[in-house]
Amino acid sequence: MPARFLDPVIVWVMWRRELLRSRRDRGQWFGGISRTVLWLVILGFGLGASFRDIEGYTYGQYILPGVITLNVIFASTQSAMALVWDREVGLLREVAVSPAPMLSVALGKLLGGATVSVIQGTVALAFAPLVGVFLEAPRVLLAWAVMLSVGVFLTAVGLVIASRMRTFEGFGSISNGVVLPLYFLSGSIFPLKGIIGGVGFLEIPDELRRQLQAIGIHTLAGGWVVQLPGWLQALVYANPVTYQLDLLRHVLLDFHQMPLELDLAVALILPLLAAGAGAAAMARGRGPR
């Protein structure tokens, strides 16, 4: 691509700017830690006492990938929200009239936001040993790769929204209506399909669990089952974050509920398409004035 369309130096400068902005934002770091403590430690251990286990995993272990994804979502949204601030203070207008290629600015901001998202996701990942999840280096690297996929996708979605918003209030309302459903309809908190849960003091042997599932029995002697209604399942399966989160859960726990081929396809292809849309939206319109 010609240099007038894409300048690696500008991409690097904008990427570094996003990281410096994140490093100086203490509230973002506090939010990442407090969300992890609230969701993983308090909610995980609190509800875990009632749910017992999910396919042999504690509830805290099950929601760990969801908490990581939650941190990625918030970091991505905040990076996109900064675009609204840049417009408010006139920085975006100055960049627009400078020789810097707008596409390079957009890509740098997109990659910077995705990188910050991975860092925020790692904050939650660091709590994994507290719920009994111990990871080798290869799994951590794979988890980072999946986080990057989620971060690129959600930052791009945020840029598309932010490029058309005039105010923080408008961005917040629209983003909450788009981003939060992506999270809650992804299987982050509850399983996607009917499963056999814990039965109080009774432990279900793995072989018996498989035999019961094979004949369609998903509850036993006071156990519990999660089975979403059909219309809600349709929304869940149409949600791209469902497959990215399912892939992250497979990387961390060796447990997944969707076809891995589909998870991989979504994680690899969707961020590229979203990145193109986000960069184009920022480079083309730069938002209404």
Interatomic CA distance for residues 289 and 239, integer angstroms: 32
| CA 201 to chain centroid | 35
- Residue spans per domain, the chain: 8-193+228-284
Helix residue ranges per DSSP H, the chain: 8-24, 26-36, 44-51, 59-88, 91-97, 102-125, 137-162, 168-184, 206-214, 230-238, 240-253, 260-284
- What gap in Å lies between CA 163 and CA 54, rounded to an integer? 41
Among the listed residues 111, 147, 122, the one whose alpha carbon sits nearest the alpha carbon of residue 251: 147
Among 140, 93, 103, CA closest to 121: 140
d(CA 140, CA 252): 8
Residue 182 near residue 77 (C-beta atoms within 8 A): no
Query: What is the reported pTM?
Result: 0.80
* CA 144/CA 115 separation, integer angstroms: 10
DSSP string, 13-48: HHHHHHHHHHHH-HHHHHHHHHHHIIIIIIIHHHHH
pLDDT in tens, the chain (289 residues): 444 567 788 888 888 988 888 787 777 778 788 888 888 877 777 766 666 567 778 888 888 999 999 999 888 888 877 777 776 666 666 666 666 677 788 888 889 989 999 999 999 999 999 888 998 999 999 999 999 999 999 888 888 887 777 666 666 676 677 778 888 888 887 777 654 443 333 455 667 666 666 655 544 444 444 556 777 778 888 899 999 999 999 999 998 888 899 999 999 999 999 988 887 777 665 444 4
